[in-house]
Structure 1
Amino acid sequence: MSDERKLQVLRAIVQDYVSTSEPVGSKALLERHQLGVSAATVRNDMAALEDEGLIAAPHTSAGRIPTDAGYRLYVDKLSQIKPLSKAERKAIEQFLVRSVDLDDVLSRTVRLLSSLTGQAAVVQYPSLNTATVRHVELVPRAADRLTLVVILSTGQVEQRVIELGRSLTEQEIDELINDLRAGLNDRTAGLRRSPASHALLRWADELSEPTQEAGSVVATAVAGVLAEEREDRVLLGGTANLVRSSGDFALSLGPLLDALEEHMVLLRLLSHEVGEAATDGVAVRIGTENAIRGLTGTSVVTTAYDADSLASLGVLGPTRMDYPSTMAAVRAVARYVADIIDN
C-alpha cells in the first residue's frame, strides 16, 4: 500500500470535511477527486488511515472525519504556504497602512485577521521591556514644564510632562533643550529601556553648569520613564466567530470563552516553544496539543512579527479549519505589521 496514496486520500478527506462539515465516505472521495484508483482501494486506504488513528467515524455512518493526528500529518506535509493573491495582499496593505500609531496598527490587525480567517484573532503588543530607544525629544510646554517624547523601536510613543521645579524664560528653556537633546539621544539611542535608564542616571551626575540643575531634573525624569516595567498586552477580537462555529466544538463553548478572558492564557497562546515545528515560520497547535484547559478542542495558528521582542499574532478556531488559507493569512498580515512597525 502506497504511503503517498494514503496521504492523498487523507488530504482529500481533510479538504472535503473542512468544506462541507460532513463525514466523508469513499464514494464522495471518488466523485470529487481524481484519485486514479478503484473504490475498493480507497476503502482499504481509509481503513488503514483509521487503524493509524488519522481518521475516525463520528457515528455509525460510512463517513470518516480527520482526527487531531490526521490534521497534524496534513499540516506537517504542507511543504510551504501558498502565498495570497496580489489582490488580497493589496487589500491587507491598504487597510493597515492607514494606521496612525501602534495602538491603531494592532487594533486593525485583530479586525483584519478575524475577517480574513473567520476565526478569533489574538495580537500581542511588542514588549516595551525589550524595546530599544529610537529617539528622545523635549518640547516646551510652560515656563516650568517640558513635554518628554520617547519613541521606541516598537513604534510605541511615550509622553510625559516633566516638572522643572522653577520657572525659566523662553530663551532659557530653548537653551536647555538644545543643550540636553544631543546628550539624551547619544546615551539612549539603540539601548533597551533599562540600560538606557542607567546611562542617563550616570549622565545626570556628570552634568555641569549652566545646565546642571535643570538638566539633572530632566535626565532623571527620562530615566524614570525608561525604568518603568510594563506588562505585556494582548488584543483579542472576533470571538463571535467562535459562537458561529459552536457546532464544531464537542463541548460547551463556556470553558473556551472563559479561558480567553484570562490575560496569561492569551500570552501562552502566542508563545512559541523551543523547537516547535513551523511551516514558513508559522506554527500550528492542534486540538490536544493545546495544554490549556478549555482549548483542547481548538487549533491555534501563530507567528512572530517582531524579532526583537518575539511579539506574535495569530488566530484560534475549531480544528475543522482551512489550514493553508489560515496560515497564509497569518503569515501575510505578520509581514505587513512588521514592515509598518519597522518604518
Structure 2
Amino acid sequence: MSQQFSERAQVLMKALVEQYLRDGQPVGSKTLAEVSNLGVSSATIRNVMMELEDLGFVQTPHTSAGRIPTALGYRLFVDRLLTVQSLSETEVAQIRAQLKPELETTALLNQASNLLSEVTHMAGLVRVPKRQVQTLKHLEFLPIGGRRVLAVLVLSDREVQNRILHTDRDYSRDELQVAANYVNQHFAGRDLRQARTELVAQLRADRAAMDLMMAGLLRVAEAALDSSEPQDDFHVTGELNLLQLADPAGIGGLRELFEAFSRKQQILGMLDKCLAADGVQIFIGEEAGQPGIKNASLIAAPYEVNGERVGVLAVIGPTRMAYDRVIPVVDITARLLSSALTSDES
C-alpha cells in the first residue's frame, strides 16, 4: 500500500474486514465512520474506499453501496493488520487432553482432524506422514475362516495395521503361530520392505529343505509384510460444516472444493508446499494456484516427530473466516500433535 494513505487507509481497511467477518454484509461508509473512530467524514471515507478499490483490496458487490474485501484485501489484512487471539490456558489444555500420546498414530491423526473441525466449525485436514521406512515391532496371525487370515502388524511408530490375507487353504491357529514366531524372531525391528525381501530370498534358497506346510506359512508371512499400501493421503473431517457456512451464491465454489477433496491431488499439492515451509502457512483464494479451492482459504502448519517434519494439518473454509481465531488453533494443534507423536517414539 502506498505511503500517501498508509495509516488512515489501514485503519479503515482493518475496520472493514473485521466488520465484514462479523456480519457478512457489505460495509458502508457510515458504518466505517462509526466503527473506525477516526473522526473523519463519510465523504473522506468514501474517497479512501475508492482508492482501496482501485488497488484491488476491496470491491463493491452488485446492488450494494457497501464494500467487501477481495482475496488481495484479506491477504493485506492477514499480513499487516491482523491481531491474532491467543488461546487461553484452558483451551490449550482441552486440546492437549484429546491428543493422548498413548493413542496409535492413525487415531491421533484422526483426532487432530476432528479437533480442528470442532473448534473452528470448518473442515479439518491432516496430511498422513510420508513414511520412507516402516519398521516391524510385532506380527500376529488369526484364522478367520474361509481361507482367510487376519494379520496384525504393530509398527515402530505405534501404528497398528490389520490386513486380511487370502490363502490357498485354511490354517490352524497353531500353524499360524509358528509363522508369526518365525517372523518375530528373525525380522522384528527391521524395515518391512527389507524383511519381505529377505523372506522371499529365504523361500527361494531353502525351498528344497522346507516342508510344504512351512513354505505355505512363509508365503502367508510374505503377504503380511507387503508394505505397498498407499500412504499418499489425508484425513478430512467436517465437510458438512462448509455447507452451513456457504451462501447460495457460493454453492458453485463449494462444489469445486468437494470435488478437490475427492480427487485429492490438488489438496495434497498444497499441503506438501506447507510441509516444506516454516510455521503457519495461509493460502487465500486463487493465490493457492488450485482451481478447486479458488473460493476458499487454507490455514496449515507442519507437525513433527523427533524434530523431523512428517506431515501437515490444516483448516479449510470460506475466505470469510475468523483468521484471528483459526491461525492460533492450527498452530497450537500442530505443536501438541508433534509432542504427542514424539513422546512415545522411543
Q: TM-score range by the shorter chain?
A: 0.7 to 0.9
The alpha carbon displacement at 1:157 in A equals: 0.9
**Alignment correspondent of 1:70:** 73
Partner of 1:319: 319
Q: What residue in structure 1 maps to residue 281 of structure 2?
A: 283
Deviation at 1:65, TM superposition (A): 0.9
Partner SS, residue 267 of structure 2: helix
8 Å contact from structure 1 (residues 123, 314) kept in 2:
yes
Task: Report the Cα offset of residue 321 of structure 1.
Answer: 0.8
Change (3 A) 1:75 1:116: same
Q: 1:126: which partner in 2? A: 129
Q: Which residue of 1 aligns with 2:15?
A: 12
CA apart distance, 1:202? 4.7
Change (3 A) 1:42 1:125: same
**In 2, are the aligned partners of 1:71 and 1:286 still within 8 Å (CA)?**
yes
Encode CA deviations 1:250-303: one digit per residue, 9 max, x unaligned.
34x256346525655335224337766999622222222345445322222223
What is the aligned residue count? Answer: 333
TM-score normalised according to structure 1 size = 0.74
Gap change, CA 1:221 and 1:277, over 3 Å in 2: closer
Match in the other structure for 2:336: 336
Query: What is the Cα deviation at residue 304 of structure 1?
Result: 2.9
Q: Which runs of 5+ in 2 are unaligned?
A: none
Given that 1:147 and 1:161 are in contact with CA atoms closer than 8 Å, whether structure 2 keeps it comes out as: yes
Output the amino acid matched with 1:234. Answer: F
| Cα distance change on mapping 1:160 and 1:110 into 2, 3 Å | closer
Q: In the TM superposition, what whole-angstrom CA distance separates every residue of 1:1-56 from its partner, at most 9, and x where no partner exists?
A: 24344333322211111012122233323422344x63365444323211110011
Identity level (%): 28
CA distance in structure 2 between the partners assigned to 1:266 and 1:274 by the alignment: 12
For the aligned residues, what is the CA RMSD? 4.3
Correspondence list, 1:208-247, <5 A: 221-231=220-230, 232-247=232-247
User: Which whole-Å CA distance do the structure 2 matches of 1:294 and 1:176 have between them?
Assistant: 48
- Unpaired runs of 5+ in structure 1? none
| 1:155-166 correspondence runs (5 A) | 155-159=158-162
1:96/1:291 CA distance change after superposition, 3 Å: same
Quote the residue 1:136 is aligned against: 138
Determine if contact 1:110/1:236 at 8 Å carries over to the other structure: yes
Q: Relative to 1, partners in 2 of residues 1:165 and 1:95: Cα closer, same or farther, differing over 3 Å? A: same
SS in 2 for 1:29: helix
Measured after TM superposition, the shift of residue 135 of structure 1 is 1.6
* TM-score normalised by the chain length of structure 2: 0.74
